[in-house]
């Protein structure tokens, strides 16, 4: 039998902007429960959570970590997440399996942009949330201002459960308006002394207690009736009402603490035990078929993999949550996506970098298994007779791109393997080989994410790499009509080659009229793989060119469209009409007409007012109000067109259209301008004409390269 049943397992995720104290709080929780003999320190690089070599080098969390602790007959699974948006994939995956989020706020900084970003994710998952105002022992802390900002940003459903008697170096007393008790801590923190609320704070505490009671009663009709009847709700009624409201995402209690001095963490853990929901109290999971899966240890076994880590010399470690049934060591389950059976040879609960063998895990619990060869992130493992597929995690799209190549020749296969394994454990990374650009393109969330990717490739998989500026996928088109004729004639002993093609080209657009002055015998509308259209018209009369040669002419045109005349970029949105030509009864063949079609198209294209098009992206930037000016100034240097701005909750959201060619270093530039207090997202919008001077420069560079290669 599993050591903890479903009702006694609580899954929480620690969230917050970088520097809000998540890892320090996790150390407090382990220490308070007696699982560690001393608290680790982020500054001393000896915390249980930040055990990775790279995290010790950088001094901040990069990966989410699974920890667990025991508190008054409950098991609390803790997922400590990184605070930088570059690692948002770790946050999203953790939220997918957590049943409560604890959002930490730095009392000296108030609500930072990282908290706003995280809140958007919690809204998507409807995660029950607790707010914890941390670092109240710092000189610049301001609890009241932070609470005001929290309510401005996240709504009036935040209710104060605790507030500090004093802040700064003298912080050591917390008034709890749920229990109507004051907790007084020693300088070293730890277990506090419970004391009556001082008379000087009685009025404030009573007012906040009344606000709490009314907020809880207002979310439950039965409690509202009891409140009207008695004029009060007791502690048990308040806790039950808060749990229901938290599950519905209607109420968010706010606590205060100093994780560094271990003041307030024990009370927070007690609240998690007593009030926060277990997995079986949350709404059932929806399967991909729209069916409900109840979290019940007596149901069919089903687990969901939310994270994988590749460990050198060990293999892949898969982290999962049991959503139904009880999984046991040695059990065989089927991967719903592939139909392949996987054997759970060993089950673990995880404590940072330590794995502890357990015989089984009940529904609602989180654990790990080694060497699930055919199972990846977002896969569901279930019983063969009860196939279930749970909804996958939708990860954020990458924001920056680089071209990646080996620093030394001959290591391409090693690099390919490293990139494959990297993609397996980090779905926010995208890797593709672009035949158009002839580069391997690596896409990720930002500069910090990119530096972590490089570290992994070079340190874990021993491949030195170079990051290059990716080429821009320009497109070429035309603005006017032109005609051309090309005669291909080649004679060299034996059969020769002959073909003559007359061609008209013009810009294509949806709904354009049929060609004027030509006798259309047939047409083909081709949707190009790289976007845009080629309209190919056969306007030959009198048998000047046999029908059998028309596909060869088209083949030559398509060949040139894949390496356009201006810069070698793909050509799009052109109508081509073949209206005359000549052939030879002996020397004409498919090759001759392919060459003639290619050359005629190239010549006509250059005479049709050619235009280079550049990719334009929709850009959204979220930054503090006071930094809007510098951010706009930087965008103007990138040829951005600002399309809209809206401001609220001390942040400004800017929408702009911006050329991809100007955005290569934007991630580092924005971080420098805003000291890491802004975020951005980019999505492809379409193509737009490139300015004349830039087009001229790119054409000159391409023609110079052609001459060098000739």
Q: Which residue's structure tokens are 């300088």? A: 187
Q: What's the pLDDT score for residue 313?
A: 63
> DSSP letter at 626?
G
State yes or no: pLDDT of 493 exceeds 70: no
Cβ count near 572 (within 10 Å)? 20
Mean pLDDT for the chain overall:
92
Q: So what's the pLDDT on residue 618? A: 96
pLDDT value, residue 39: 80
Architecture per CATH, domain 612-693, reads as 2-Layer Sandwich (3.30)
Q: What is the pLDDT of residues 286-332, one digit of tens each?
A: 999 999 999 999 999 999 999 999 876 667 899 999 999 999 999 99
User: How many percent of the chain have pLDDT more than 90?
Assistant: 72
Query: Which residue, 368, 411, 86, 313, is CA-closest to 419?
Result: 411
Q: pLDDT per residue over 138-184, tens digit each?
A: 999 999 999 999 998 898 899 999 999 999 989 999 999 999 999 99
Its pTM stands at 0.86
Hey, which CATH number is domain 481-602, 3.40.50.720, 2.40.30.20, 3.30.230.10, 3.90.1150.10? 3.30.230.10
Over residues 486-504, the mean pLDDT reads 88
Spatial CB neighbours of 32, under 8 Å, sequence gap ≥ 6: 69, 71, 190, 262, 265, 266, 269
Using DSSP, state whether 109 is helix, strand or coil: coil
Q: Which of helix, strand or coil describes residue 160? A: strand
Confidence of residue 561 (pLDDT cuts 50, 70, 90): very high
How many angstroms separate the CA atoms of 345 and 528, rounded?
A: 50
- What's the confidence (pLDDT) of residue 629? 94
pLDDT digits (tens, 9 = 90+) for 236-291: 999 999 999 999 999 999 999 999 999 999 999 999 999 999 999 999 999 999 99
Q: Where are the domains of the chain?
A: 6-281, 288-382, 400-468, 481-602, 612-693
Residue 254 to residue 111: CA distance in whole angstroms = 13
Closest CA to 371 of 349, 333, 345, 339: 345
SS3 for 172-221 is CEEEECCCCEEEECCCCCCCCEEECCCHHHHHHHHHHHHHHHHHHHCCCH
The CATH homologous superfamily for domain 6-281 is P-loop containing nucleotide triphosphate hydrolases (3.40.50.300)
Phi, psi (rounded to 5 degrees) for 657: -100, 130
**Locus of tokens 């301001």:** 142
- Span 408-424, average pLDDT: 91
Predicted local confidence at residue 697, as pLDDT = 95
- Do 400-468 and 612-693 fold alike per CATH? yes
pLDDT band at 43 (very low <50, low <70, confident <90, very high): confident
- The Cα-based distances of 519 to 101, 415, 507, 539, 578 in angstroms read 70, 56, 19, 5, 10
Look at residue 574 in the predicted model and tell me its pLDDT.
98
Query: For residue 6, what are its two tokens?
Result: 């479903």
Give pLDDT tens digits for 595-611. Answer: 999 999 999 999 999 99
Task: Give me the pLDDT at residue 498, please.
Answer: 95
Q: What percentage of the chain reaches a pLDDT higher than 70?
A: 99
Residue 496 Cα distances to 273, 489, 550, 581, angstroms:
88, 8, 20, 18
Q: What is the CATH number of domain 288-382?
A: 2.40.30.10
DSSP character string of 428-452: T-EEEEETTTTEEEEEESSHHHHHH
Could you tell me the CA-to-CA distances from 481 to 68, 562, 568, 586 in Å, in that order? 71, 21, 21, 34
Over residues 123-137, the mean pLDDT reads: 95
Residue 173 β-bridge partners: 184
Alpha-carbon gap, residue 329 to 73, rounded angstroms: 24
Q: Which two tokens stand for residue 277?
A: 């929901």
Dihedral angle sign, alpha carbons of residues 440, 441, 444, 449 = positive
Going by their DSSP bridges, the two strands 482-490 and 181-184 should be labelled as unpaired
3-class secondary-structure state, position 293: strand
pLDDT band at 188 (very low <50, low <70, confident <90, very high): confident
Question: Tokens at residue 117, please?
Answer: 């970003």
| Four-point Cα dihedral 103, 106, 107, 112, nearest 10 | -90
Q: What's the chain's Rg over C-alpha atoms?
A: 32
Q: 């201002």: which residue's tokens?
A: 145
Checking if the pLDDT of 32 tops 90, the result is: no
Homologous superfamily of domain range 400-468: Elongation Factor G (Translational Gtpase), domain 3 (3.30.70.870)
Higher-scoring residue by pLDDT: 697, 35: 697
Q: What is the pLDDT of residues 564-594, one digit of tens each?
A: 999 999 999 999 999 999 999 889 999 999 9
Q: What is the mean pLDDT of residues 537-555?
A: 94
Confidence of residue 351 (pLDDT cuts 50, 70, 90): confident
Residue 520: per-residue pLDDT = 93
In 80-99, which positions are buried (b, 16+ CB within 10 angstroms) versus exposed (e)? bbbbbbbbbbbbbbbbbbbb
pLDDT of the residue at 649: 66
């Amino acid at each position: 039998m599993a050591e903890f049943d479903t009702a006694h397992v609580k899954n929480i995720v620690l969230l917050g902007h970088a520097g809000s104290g998540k890892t320090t709080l996790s150390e407090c929780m382990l220490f308070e429960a007696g699982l560690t003999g001393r608290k680790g320190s982020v500054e001393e690089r000896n915390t249980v959570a930040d055990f990775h070599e790279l995290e010790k080098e950088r001094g901040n969390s990069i990966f989410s970590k699974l920890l667990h602790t025991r508190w008054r007959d409950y098991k609390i699974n803790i997922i400590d997440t990184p605070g930088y948006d570059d690692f948002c994939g770790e946050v999203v995956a953790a939220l997918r399996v957590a049943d409560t989020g604890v959002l930490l706020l730095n009392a000296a900084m108030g609500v930072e942009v990282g908290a706003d970003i995280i809140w958007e994710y919690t809204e998507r998952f409807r995660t029950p949330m607790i707010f914890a105002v941390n670092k109240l022992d710092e000189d610049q802390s301001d609890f009241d201002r932070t609470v005001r900002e929290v309510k401005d940003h996240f709504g009036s459903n935040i209710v104060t459960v605790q507030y500090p008697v004093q802040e700064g170096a003298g912080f050591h007393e917390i008034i709890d308006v749920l229990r109507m008790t004051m907790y007084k801590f020693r300088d070293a923190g730890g277990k506090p002394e419970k004391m009556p609320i001082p008379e000087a704070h009685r009025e404030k505490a009573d007012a906040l207690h009344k606000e709490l009671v009314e907020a809880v009663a207002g979310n439950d009709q039965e409690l509202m009736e009891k409140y009207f009847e008695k004029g009060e709700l007791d502690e048990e009624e308040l806790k039950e009402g808060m749990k229901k409201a938290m599950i519905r995402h209607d109420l968010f209690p706010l606590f205060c603490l100093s994780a560094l001095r271990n003041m307030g963490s024990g009370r927070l853990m007690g609240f998690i035990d007593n009030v926060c929901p277990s997995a079986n109290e949350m709404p059932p999971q929806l399967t991909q078929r729209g069916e409900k899966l109840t979290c019940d240890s007596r149901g069919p076994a089903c687990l969901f993999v939310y994270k994988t880590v590749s460990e050198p010399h060990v293999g892949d470690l898969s982290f999962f949550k049991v959503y139904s049934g009880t999984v046991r060591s040695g059990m065989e389950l089927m991967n719903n996506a592939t139909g392949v059976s996987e054997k759970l040879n060993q089950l673990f609960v995880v404590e940072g970098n330590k794995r502890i063998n357990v015989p089984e895990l009940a529904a609602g619990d989180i654990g790990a298994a080694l060497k699930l060869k055919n199972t990846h992130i977002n896969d569901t493992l279930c019983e063969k007779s009860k196939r279930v597929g749970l909804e996958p995690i939708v990860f954020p799209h990458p924001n920056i791109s680089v071209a990646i190549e080996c620093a030394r020749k001959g290591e391409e296969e090693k690099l390919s393997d490293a990139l494959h394994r990297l993609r397996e454990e980090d779905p926010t990374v995208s890797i593709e080989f672009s035949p158009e650009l002839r580069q391997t393109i690596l896409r990720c969330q930002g500069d910090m994410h990119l530096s972590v990717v490089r570290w992994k490739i070079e340190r874990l998989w021993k491949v030195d790499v170079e990051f290059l500026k990716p080429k821009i996928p320009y497109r070429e088109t035309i603005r006017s009509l032109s005609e051309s004729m090309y005669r291909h004639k080649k004679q060299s002993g034996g059969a020769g080659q002959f073909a003559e093609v007359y061609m008209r080209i013009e810009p294509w657009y949806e709904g354009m009229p049929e060609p004027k002055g030509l006798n259309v015998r047939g047409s083909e509308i081709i949707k190009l793989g790289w976007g845009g259209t080629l309209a190919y018209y056969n306007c030959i009369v009198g048998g000047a060119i046999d029908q059998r040669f028309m596909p060869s002419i088209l083949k030559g045109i398509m060949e040139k469209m894949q390496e356009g005349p201006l810069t070698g970029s793909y050509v799009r949105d052109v109508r081509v009409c073949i209206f005359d030509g000549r052939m030879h009864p002996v020397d004409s063949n498919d090759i001759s007409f392919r060459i003639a079609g290619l050359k005629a198209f190239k010549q006509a294209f250059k005479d049709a007012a050619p235009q280079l098009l550049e990719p334009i992206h929709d850009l959204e930037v979220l930054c503090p109000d006071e930094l809007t000016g510098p951010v706009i100034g930087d965008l103007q240097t990138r040829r951005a067109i600002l399309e809209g701005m809206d401001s609220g909750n001390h942040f400004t959201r800017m929408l702009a259209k911006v050329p991809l060619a100007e955005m290569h270093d934007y991630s580092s530039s924005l971080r420098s301008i805003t000291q890491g207090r802004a975020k951005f997202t980019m999505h492809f919008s379409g193509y737009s004409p490139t300015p004349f001077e830039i087009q001229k420069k790119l054409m000159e560079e391409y023609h110079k390269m052609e001459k060098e290669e000739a």
